Amino acid sequence: MVALAALAAGAGQVLVSDLSAEKLAIACKYAGIVPFDIRTGSLAARVAELTAGWGADVVFEASGATKAFEGIFDLLAPAGTLVLVGMPPGAVAFDVVAAQAKEARIETIFRYANVYPKAVALLASGKVDLKPLISASFSFDQSIAAFERAAESRPADIKLQIAVEESLA
C-alpha cells in the first residue's frame, strides 16, 4: 500500500523488496512497481543499478524488521528522505554517522493515525486499485473463519475482506 501511495503521489518508479515471492508477484501486477526478492541478492546493489549509483530519493521502511535497518542509508541518495512506517519489536541500532554523511532527512509515521480522510480521498480519486490486494472476501457471518485465516498468515494473503451489508431498516 505504501508503494501504491507513492505512485499515486507522483513517484515514477517504486522498488518493493520482500522475502515472499507470492507477495512480490502481486506487487509486480502494478505498473511502476519493480519487485526485488531480498533473498536473491543485495538490495543496495539493486537500488544502485536502478538509480545509476545515485540512490533512492525516498526510502520507506514498512516492514518493521530489525534487520531492515542494517545499511538502510546505503539505499538513500544524498539529501534523501527515510520514512519509518513499520514498527520494530524493540530498539534498533541506528547508524547516525551514515545518516549524517548522506544528509538524510528522517520522518516517522504512526501507520493509522490521522490518515483515514486522505486514504478515502485517494481511493475515491481512482488513483489506487486495491482489488489485487484482496486475497479473499468473507461475508459477515463468516467473520470467525476470516480471522482464523488471518491468524494462519498464509504467504500469498495480503488483505482479507469482511463484507458488511447495510441494513435497510
How do residues 78-129 score in pLDDT, each as one tens digit? 999 999 999 999 999 989 999 999 999 999 988 677 778 888 888 888 888 8
Q: In terms of domains, do 122 and 80 share one?
A: yes
3-class secondary-structure state, position 139: strand
Rounded Cα distance between 33 and 19, Å, is 16
Nearest to 38 by CA among 87, 75, 1: 75
Check whether residue 78 and residue 154 sit in a common domain.
no
Shared domain check, 136 and 54: no
Predicted local confidence at residue 120, as pLDDT: 85
Q: What is the pLDDT of residue 71?
A: 93
pTM above 0.85, yes or no: no
User: Chain centroid to CA 50: how far?
Assistant: 18
pLDDT over 70 at 1, yes or no: yes
pLDDT value of residue 166: 62
Q: Is the pLDDT of residue 73 over 90?
A: yes
Are 89 and 69 members of one domain? Answer: yes
Categorize the per-residue pLDDT at 14 as very low, low, confident or very high, splitting at 50, 70 and 90: very high
If you average pLDDT over residues 139-157, what whole number do you get? 93
Grid coordinates representing 17 are 523488496
Domain that holds residue 167: 130-169
pLDDT at 111: 65
